[in-house]
């Protein structure tokens, strides 16, 4: 019998299947197959934190199918992702399939290429229980926090809320930044620019710096006036000119964190979207037979490491030499030091094959896939290139005891900058009064040379508050604080948004009233859970479990002993207390009473409601913001060309589990709905009215009379206007088959659909 290879995703399975040949069958588990139950804690705290896993609902048939394949297979290879989560999935699969841990054949590969996959199959290992226990410890910790704190929030804030161990810390970061912005007091400062001219008529600009003793800050108009009065009547003298050469090193290849930050800044993608596209590039895409068919384009996308294999460096070096010349790569391959505390199990994120330039595979990729692949490919190649060489200049000009300065640089040798330049973080924070200019061109002046003053321009400024977090800056801060891991950053952000603790305003992450109230309660009652150092230390403990330096139960026991005390104390403290969540106002004015409408949650999502309910029951639909970058603009509400049959208000299009439908715009005051239909241009075989197409379960379609239920005609097969040549009844186009059948079952007429009809 064939050998069985089990991976997580169907796309990964199809890629690997093409590499291994007919002796191997590759199936997908579609993620986890077992987890803690949703209906209970699922952790026996009193009995050594024993986890009670169950098969995930809906996975029963899949598990049976895989178990059947496993029984018939000669060998079973568990080839899930090469990280804690992947190791845990392999362990759960082994348990579900009844394979003893010591007999498991675990294989991992950093890139999904034919060479990497075949090499891994030749060298299987056992499941690493240290990795599994690190994942289990995280899952159990998160479950305990979520299930113990959520009822506390329901009681004191609002029902339906939930708490998360790391998500609560991320919410705290965003709330505290918002408080910084609210409490920020702008500070006045002034700049003075002087326009100077040389003896041969060349003019240029310099900016006030200070005096002989150093830099001076002009904090008010009086300070600026004092300098202006002193220098306005005299000329300037060249005091000093300093020129130097410096090398600018390329940025290292991407880790998960830096990839998310750079793709957010340069491409405008949100973190969850970045990871989704990276997963697609890793798992494999058909890039045409001329490029090798289906294969993974990048290495594993969840990594802390900046390490690069010698083979990849050699590939890059060869490419750089052929494309740019030998002077564009350094004498020896570049080595980048991975930051302290990072996991070094995998390489940095890089192209699986350097030869697959972005332009070569562009036509096989979606626009977003191409953009991210190009970013990863260029960043890696640039990381192996020679440094750029810059000529810098700083010139000081004196007048009346004050110093004005100009500084900047020119690029003498592009080096890696010929291909890639990392983005500079946007800083709204107190703009530097002395900016360094690129490609600055100063006249050829000499020390002690006198210069004429053409004009002086004073400008008043105010310092600005810190910028709100966006995906890139929050991920950077989480990483700096040691909170979460690369594989969790995108999930953290999407979770706090889905729980309505944080919302997006453009690219910014802004706390909601619910988020602020919940954060306040957490700080007062559970300071350890939202403490930055405590959460970072917990990540370190999970790493120690992974490395075999700590036991899972030791970490869980130490956490629970402190958390149990906090929980008990908080319950006593908050017995009679409650927090009122401020309402979220909209810009919509109630057209019945003139009040500013507020956001409410209903069965079909958020809607705008009058704050004077029940005196005023007016409601309006809210236009939702899309989570996808391509749909940043507000969605337009589609208004039907008919009115509500109960109250006469507009009907608007909505989406439900059976597809699109129309609902009264005054919902929830009026609950009238009408299914969306499409006229197919066919007469009803029973009453002669129109036949319309409707949505059924799982977004399948069926056909019925527009007068249903008065006329009860309905069919899964599509009726046509064509008549049966044998009995004269109408013909139906058979669902899922290329045939026409007669409506009269006793007739039995059947005809194949011709190719031209099928194409139509």
260 shares its domain with 379: yes
Sign of the alpha-carbon torsion through 89, 92, 98, 102: positive
pLDDT value for 605:
67
The residue ranges of DSSP E strands in 107-228, in sequence order, are 188-197, 203-211, 214-215
Share of the chain above pLDDT 70, in %: 90
The conformation of residue 218, written as its DSSP 8-state character, comes to: B
Model pTM score: 0.75
Query: What's the CA gap between 534 and 562, in Å, rounded?
Result: 11
Q: Which long-range contacts (CB under 8 A, 24 or more apart) does 624-628 make?
A: 625/504, 627/270, 627/272, 627/497, 627/504, 628/270, 628/273
Tens digit of pLDDT for each residue in 322-369?
999 999 999 999 988 876 655 556 789 999 999 999 999 999 999 999
179 shares its domain with 279: no
Q: Are 378 and 420 in contact (CB under 8 A)?
A: yes
Please say if the pLDDT value at position 626 is more than 70. no
SS3 (DSSP) at 349: strand
Residue 296 structure tokens? 């993974």
The conformation of residue 581, written as its DSSP 8-state character, comes to: P
SS3 (DSSP) at 161: coil
530's CB contacts (< 8 A; 6+ apart) are 168, 169, 172, 519, 522, 523
Phi, psi for residue 243 in degrees, rounded to 5 = -120, 145
pLDDT value for 492:
93
Kindly give the interhelix angle for 256-267 and 367-383, rounded to the nearest 10 degrees.
120
Query: What's the CA gap between 709 and 690, in Å, rounded?
Result: 13
379 shares its domain with 262: yes
User: Residue 458 is part of which domain span?
Assistant: 188-249+389-462
Q: What is the CATH number of the domain that holds 294?
A: 1.10.290.10
Query: What's the CA gap between 538 and 545, in Å, rounded?
Result: 11
pLDDT value for 467:
94
Q: What Cα–Cα distance (Å) separates residue 27 from each residue in 15, 114, 219, 301?
A: 11, 17, 69, 22
Q: What is the CATH number of the domain that holds 104?
A: 3.40.50.140
Query: What's the CA gap between 575 and 577, in Å, rounded?
Result: 6
Phi, psi for residue 740 in degrees, rounded to 5 = -105, 140
Q: Are 491 and 256 in contact (CB under 8 A)?
A: no
Report residue 603's pLDDT band, with 50, 70 and 90 as the boundaries: low
185's CB contacts (< 8 A; 6+ apart) are none
Query: What's the CA gap between 295 and 112, in Å, rounded?
Result: 6
Torsion region of 686: left, alpha or beta (phi above 0 gives left; psi -120 to 50 gives alpha): alpha
201 or 737: which leads in pLDDT:
201
Q: Which of 441, 462, 483 is the last residue of a domain?
A: 462
Please say if the pLDDT value at position 657 is more than 60. no
Domain membership of residue 706 (yes or no) is no
177 shares its domain with 205: no
pLDDT value for 152:
84
Query: What's the CA gap between 198 and 450, in Å, rounded?
Result: 8
Average pLDDT, the chain: 86
Query: What's the CA gap between 240 and 237, in Å, rounded?
Result: 9
Stretch 128-138: mean pLDDT, rounded? 95
**Within 10 A of 360 (CB to CB), how many other CB atoms are there?**
13
314's CB contacts (< 8 A; 6+ apart) are 333
Q: Which of 573, 605, 635 is the last residue of a domain?
A: 573
Angle, CA 555 vertex, CA 552 and CA 558 arms, to 5°: 145
Domain membership of residue 713 (yes or no) is no
Report residue 627's pLDDT band, with 50, 70 and 90 as the boundaries: very low
Domain membership of residue 686 (yes or no) is no
Tens digit of pLDDT for each residue in 34-76?
999 988 899 999 999 999 999 998 899 999 999 999 998 989 9
Domain membership of residue 607 (yes or no) is yes
Query: What's the CA gap between 419 and 325, in Å, rounded?
Result: 13
3-class secondary structure per residue, 587-642: EEECCCCCCEEEEEEECCEEEEECCCCCCCCCEEECCCCCCCHHHCCCCCCCEEEE
504 shares its domain with 615: no
Report residue 426's pLDDT band, with 50, 70 and 90 as the boundaries: very low
DSSP, residue by residue, 303-336: -------HHHHHHHHHHHHHHT-GGGS-SS----
Query: What's the CA gap between 612 and 594, in Å, rounded?
Result: 10
Mean pLDDT lowest for which of 53-67, 116-130, 427-441, 561-575?
A: 427-441
Domain membership of residue 604 (yes or no) is yes
Domain membership of residue 694 (yes or no) is no
**H or E element in which residue 713 lies:** none
Angle, CA 653 vertex, CA 649 and CA 657 arms, to 5°: 130
Stretch 480-497: mean pLDDT, rounded? 89
Stretch 712-729: mean pLDDT, rounded? 81
687 or 94: which leads in pLDDT:
94
Half-sphere exposure of 72 (CA within 13 A, CB side): 11
232 shares its domain with 294: no
Q: Which of 462, 493, 521 is the last residue of a domain?
A: 462
275 shares its domain with 245: no
Q: How many domains does the chain have?
A: 6
Mean pLDDT lowest for which of 163-177, 231-245, 284-298, 342-356?
A: 342-356
439 shares its domain with 495: no
Q: Which residues are catalytic?
A: 300
150 or 427: which leads in pLDDT:
150
Residue 86 structure tokens? 């992947």
Comparing C-alpha atoms, which of 446, 452, 405, 455 is closest to residue 238?
446
Domain membership of residue 139 (yes or no) is no
Domain membership of residue 52 (yes or no) is yes
Q: What is the CATH number of the domain that holds 432?
A: 2.70.20.10
268 shares its domain with 229: no
Q: Is 411 exposed, middle or buried (0-12, 13-18, 19+ CB in 10 A)?
A: middle
Q: What is the CATH number of the domain that holds 154?
A: 1.10.460.10
Comparing C-alpha atoms, which of 120, 99, 97 is closest to residue 16?
120
pLDDT value for 631:
40
Stretch 254-263: mean pLDDT, rounded? 94
Q: Are 317 and 383 in contact (CB under 8 A)?
A: no
659 shares its domain with 627: yes
Chain position carrying tokens 């350094």 = 330
Q: Are 347 and 305 in contact (CB under 8 A)?
A: yes
368 shares its domain with 266: yes
631 or 517: which leads in pLDDT:
517
Query: What's the CA gap between 339 and 323, in Å, rounded?
Result: 32
453 shares its domain with 360: no
Query: What's the CA gap between 499 and 174, in Å, rounded?
Result: 14
698's CB contacts (< 8 A; 6+ apart) are none
Stretch 528-554: mean pLDDT, rounded? 93
Comparing C-alpha atoms, which of 657, 608, 522 is closest to residue 172?
522
Query: What's the CA gap between 374 and 383, in Å, rounded?
Result: 14
């Amino acid at each position: 019998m064939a050998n069985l290879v089990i991976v997580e995703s169907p796309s990964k399975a199809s890629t690997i299947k093409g590499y291994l040949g007919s002796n191997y069958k590759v199936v997908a588990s579609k993620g986890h197959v077992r987890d803690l139950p949703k209906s209970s804690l699922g952790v026996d705290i009193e009995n050594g934190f024993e986890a009670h896993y169950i098969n995930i609902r809906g996975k029963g048939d899949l598990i049976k199918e895989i178990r059947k394949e496993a029984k018939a297979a000669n060998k079973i290879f568990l080839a899930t992702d090469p990280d804690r989560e992947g190791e845990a999935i392999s362990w759960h699969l082994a348990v579900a399939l009844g394979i003893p841990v010591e007999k498991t054949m675990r294989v991992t590969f950093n890139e999904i290429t034919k060479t990497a996959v075949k090499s891994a199959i030749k060298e299987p290992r056992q499941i690493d229980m240290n990795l599994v226990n690190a994942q289990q410890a995280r899952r159990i910790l998160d479950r305990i926090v979520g299930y113990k704190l959520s009822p506390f929030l329901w009681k004191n804030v609002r029902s339906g809320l939930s708490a998360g161990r790391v998500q609560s810390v991320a919410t705290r970061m965003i709330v505290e930044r918002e408080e910084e912005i609210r409490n920020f007091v702008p500070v006045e400062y002034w700049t003075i620019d002087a326009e100077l001219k040389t003896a041969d008529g060349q003019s240029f600009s310099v900016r006030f710096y200070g005096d002989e003793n150093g830099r001076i800050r002009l904090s008010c108009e009086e300070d600026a006036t004092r300098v202006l009065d002193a220098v306005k009547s005299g000329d300037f003298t060249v005091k000093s000119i300093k020129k130097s050469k410096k090398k600018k090193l390329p940025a290292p290849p991407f880790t998960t964190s830096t990839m998310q930050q750079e793709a957010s800044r340069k491409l405008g993608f949100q973190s969850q979207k970045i990871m989704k596209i990276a997963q697609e590039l890793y798992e494999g895409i058909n890039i045409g037979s001329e490029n090798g068919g289906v294969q993974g384009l990048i290495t594993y996308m969840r990594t802390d490491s900046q390490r690069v294999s010698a083979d990849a460096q050699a590939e890059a070096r060869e490419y750089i030499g052929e494309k740019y010349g030998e002077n564009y790569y350094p004498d020896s391959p570049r080595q980048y030091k991975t930051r302290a505390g990072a996991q070094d199990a995998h390489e940095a994120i890089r192209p699986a094959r350097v030869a697959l330039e972005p332009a070569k595979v562009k036509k096989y990729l979606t626009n977003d896939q191409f953009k991210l692949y190009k970013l990863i490919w260029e960043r890696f190649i640039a990381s192996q290139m020679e440094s750029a060489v810059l000529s810098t200049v700083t010139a000081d000009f004196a007048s009346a005891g004050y110093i004005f300065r100009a500084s900047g640089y020119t690029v003498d040798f592009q080096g890696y900058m010929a291909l890639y330049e990392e983005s500079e973080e946007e800083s709204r924070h107190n703009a530097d009064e002395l900016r360094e200019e690129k490609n600055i061109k100063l006249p050829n002046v000499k020390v002690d040379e006198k210069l004429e003053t053409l004009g002086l321009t004073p400008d008043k400024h105010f310092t600005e508050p810190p910028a709100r977090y966006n995906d890139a800056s929050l991920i950077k801060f989480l990483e700096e604080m040691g909170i979460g891991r690369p594989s969790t950053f995108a999930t953290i952000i999407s979770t706090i948004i889905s729980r309505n603790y944080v919302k997006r305003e453009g690219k910014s992450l802004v706390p909601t009233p619910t988020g602020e109230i919940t954060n306040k309660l957490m700080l007062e009652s559970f300071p350890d859970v939202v403490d930055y150092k405590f959460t970072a230390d917990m990540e370190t403990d999970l790493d120690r479990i992974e490395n075999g330096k700590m036991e899972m139960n030791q970490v869980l026991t130490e956490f629970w002993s402190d958390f149990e005390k906090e929980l008990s104390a908080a319950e006593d403290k908050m017995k009679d207390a409650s927090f009122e969540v401020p309402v979220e106002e909209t810009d919509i004015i109630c057209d019945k009473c003139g009040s500013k409408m507020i956001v409410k949650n209903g069965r079909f999502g958020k809607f705008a409601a009058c704050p004077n309910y029940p005196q005023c029951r007016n409601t309006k639909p809210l236009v939702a913001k899309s989570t996808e970058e391509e749909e940043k603009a507000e969605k337009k509400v589609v208004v039907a060309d008919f009115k509500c049959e109960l109250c006469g208000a507009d009907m608007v299009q909505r989406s439900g589990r059976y597809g699109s439908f129309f609902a009264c715009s005054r919902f929830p005051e009026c609950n009238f709905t009408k299914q969306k239909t499409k006229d197919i241009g066919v007469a009803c075989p029973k009453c002669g009215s129109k036949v319309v197409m409707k949505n059924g379960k799982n977004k399948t379609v069926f056909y019925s009379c527009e007068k249903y239920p008065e006329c009860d005609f309905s069919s899964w097969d599509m009726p046509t206007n064509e008549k049966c040549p044998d009995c004269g009844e109408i013909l139906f186009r058979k669902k899922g088959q290329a045939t026409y059948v007669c409506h009269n079952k006793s007739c039995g007429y059947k005809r194949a659909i011709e190719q031209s009809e099928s194409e139509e």
